[in-house]
Amino acid sequence: MTQPRRNKQLHPLRKRCNNALPRMTPRELLHRLSSGQASLRAACANAYGHHPDLIETACTRLWALARHYADTFSPDDSIVVVRAPGRVNLIGEHTDYNGLPVMPMAISRDVLVMASRAADMSVSISNVEGMFEPRAFLLERHIPPFAPGDWGNYVKSAMQGLIDHWGSADGLSGLRMAISGNVPVASGLSSSAAFTIACALALLTVHKRALDPLQFADVMAQSDHYVGMASGGMDQAASILGRAGACLKIDFFPLRVQPVQLPPGTAIVVCHSRVKAAKAGNARDEYNRRVVECRLATAVLHAAAPSSAREPQLLSQWLAWDTSGLDDAVARINATLHPEPYRLPELARILSLSEEKLRATLCTTKTGIRCSEPPNGFHLLKRARHVITETRRVEAALAVLTAMPPDAARRFGELMNQSHVSCRDDYAISCPELEELVSAARDAGAYGARLTGAGFGGCTVNLVPADAAPQFIQAVNRAYYAPHQLDHLPDNQFIFAPASGAGVLVA
């Protein structure tokens, strides 16, 4: 595998700050917006692209944000404005928490935060769209969470993540924050990562503190655990390190990012199944169970052929000690793990642990959530096989996009299709609606179509010929949205170009 260098200059979060407008009041911002000031439009173009429609949309959102802030807090506070995008994952699903690569891109939908320094340590948050009730809490070394599932925990996780990184809340003051987002929620497009990162960037910017973007992505990935997800670092890395015009091959431990171009003449169309994949509900439990199954598989594979090295915790570590490569790793998984689900007594015997010890260690996520044995047992063969074959597909996708042969779109699309089959059959994260959407997309001429994100609902991602994207959208509308009587809803389908990562509009 090629290992791109860890290069600070690749991701100029700081440069994005340098292009930002100086701190101002909401009153001034509203005035500049109403006079169509050139520097403001330039800042929006820098973040969203130069098309007049994109700049107009950005100005409209900023207007609503400034009005909301002024009405909720004060029109005369000295404010900063930051943004963090959602992401769509093209290939490499459920590999990140195994330490294995992914290939997402940041999208043009994002979360905007307008913030100012509070007079005390209180953090107050108000949402422009009114989707979330206002929340307030105190900034302190250890911030106690709200009730499980409360949206305010995402704000707390952002603050706690940075405070943990600094080791103290000294020198900080609280924040007044107005938040506006247009990333569809619970759709597999990482609205929660966008939200958390925007809040953290607001804290950094208000306090004029800086973090290297790669380190920021690592800190934010850790902070996700505050909300009980044992997730990997893909969403945070894509949102922070996103590049306009490029998707990202991301490797972990240490975090490394390589921008790659999509095949020429293609477009990415994302279709929402309208099945909610809520991180706070059943999808979270299913997700955490997959994490546990991967850890159990790693332990069983190691027990079957122990290496002299330290016991691997992740499939990436097991792989690294298996020098014979990915193809051979798949063969070894097929030969070592049996297809029947594993029950706790058998696992305890193989791993020479008591069942209680097993429950308390490998079956407990690093967020402290104990994952009970599923009624049919743990599926180790299928889960490990998905992760390793998916890794092989990500590497193959990178090779296609790097060499960019004339049939790159077809070959990349084929890898996406194979990824979907593996997500469905080996990882069991699809659902009937996603299946319908994927087959509608293939019938409508997609080079490749697959579920994206954690699964269990949410969106599909489709690689389509760019000039046929409008017809593709109509065909999927006829095949899926109309029969399900969803065609009246906004935001069913999106054409996304790779967008730039998190940044600062007003510093």
Q: Which of 26, 453, 498, 503 binds ligand GLA (CB under 6 A)?
A: 453
> Does 252 participate in binding ligand GLA (rule CB under 6 A)?
no
Gap between the Cα atoms of 266 and 271, Å rounded: 16
Gap between the Cα atoms of 305 and 319, Å rounded: 12
> Does 251 participate in binding ligand GLA (rule CB under 6 A)?
no
Q: Which of 93, 110, 373, 433 binds ligand GLA (CB under 6 A)?
A: 93
> Does 231 participate in binding ligand GLA (rule CB under 6 A)?
yes
Q: Which of 61, 94, 256, 393 binds ligand GLA (CB under 6 A)?
A: 94
Question: Which range in 168-176, 229-237, 359-367, 398-406 contacts ligand GLA by CB under 6 A?
Answer: 229-237
> Does 235 participate in binding ligand GLA (rule CB under 6 A)?
yes
Token digits for 385? 């096989």
Q: How many residues bind ligand GLA (CB under 6 A)?
A: 12
The minimum distance between CB 251 and ligand GLA, in angstroms, equals: 14
The minimum distance between CB 413 and ligand GLA, in angstroms, equals: 19
- Is there a cis peptide before residue 254, judged by omega within 30 degrees of 0? yes
Token digits for 153? 């925990």
Q: Which residue has the tokens 């070394």?
A: 141
Question: Which range in 63-71, 226-234, 346-354, 443-451 contacts ligand GLA by CB under 6 A?
Answer: 226-234
Q: Which of 232, 242, 413, 448 binds ligand GLA (CB under 6 A)?
A: 232
The minimum distance between CB 231 and ligand GLA, in angstroms, equals: 3
Question: Which range in 86-94, 131-139, 335-343, 430-438 contacts ligand GLA by CB under 6 A?
Answer: 86-94
Question: Which range in 118-126, 179-187, 227-235, 473-481 contacts ligand GLA by CB under 6 A?
Answer: 227-235
Gap between the Cα atoms of 101 and 248, Å rounded: 10
| Cβ proximity to ligand GLA, 72 vs 462, nearer residue | 462
The minimum distance between CB 112 and ligand GLA, in angstroms, equals: 21
Amino acid identity, position 445: G
**What residues from 164 to 203 belong to the interface with ligand GLA (CB under 6 A)?**
190
- In 3D space, the residue among 483, 488, 433 whose CA is nearest the CA of residue 458 turns out to be 433
| Pair 274, 489: CB distance under 8 Å | yes
Gap between the Cα atoms of 260 and 225, Å rounded: 29
Amino acid identity, position 268: I
Just list the catalytic residues.
235
The minimum distance between CB 444 and ligand GLA, in angstroms, equals: 25
Token digits for 326? 């990915």
> Does 96 participate in binding ligand GLA (rule CB under 6 A)?
yes
> Does 205 participate in binding ligand GLA (rule CB under 6 A)?
no
Gap between the Cα atoms of 481 and 33, Å rounded: 37
The minimum distance between CB 507 and ligand GLA, in angstroms, equals: 29
> Does 393 participate in binding ligand GLA (rule CB under 6 A)?
no
Could you write out the DSSP letters of every residue in 373-407? PPTT-B-HHHHHHHHHHHHHHHHHHHHHHHH--TT
| Pair 440, 475: CB distance under 8 Å | yes
Could you write out the DSSP letters of every residue in 179-222? EEE-SPTTSSS-HHHHHHHHHHHHHHHHTT----HHHHHHHHHH
**Could you give the 3-state DSSP secondary structure of residue 15?**
helix
| Cβ proximity to ligand GLA, 116 vs 153, nearer residue | 153
Type and span of the H or E element at 40: helix 38-48
Interacting residue ranges for ligand GLA, rule: CB under 6 A:
89, 93-94, 96-97, 190, 231-232, 234-235, 453-454
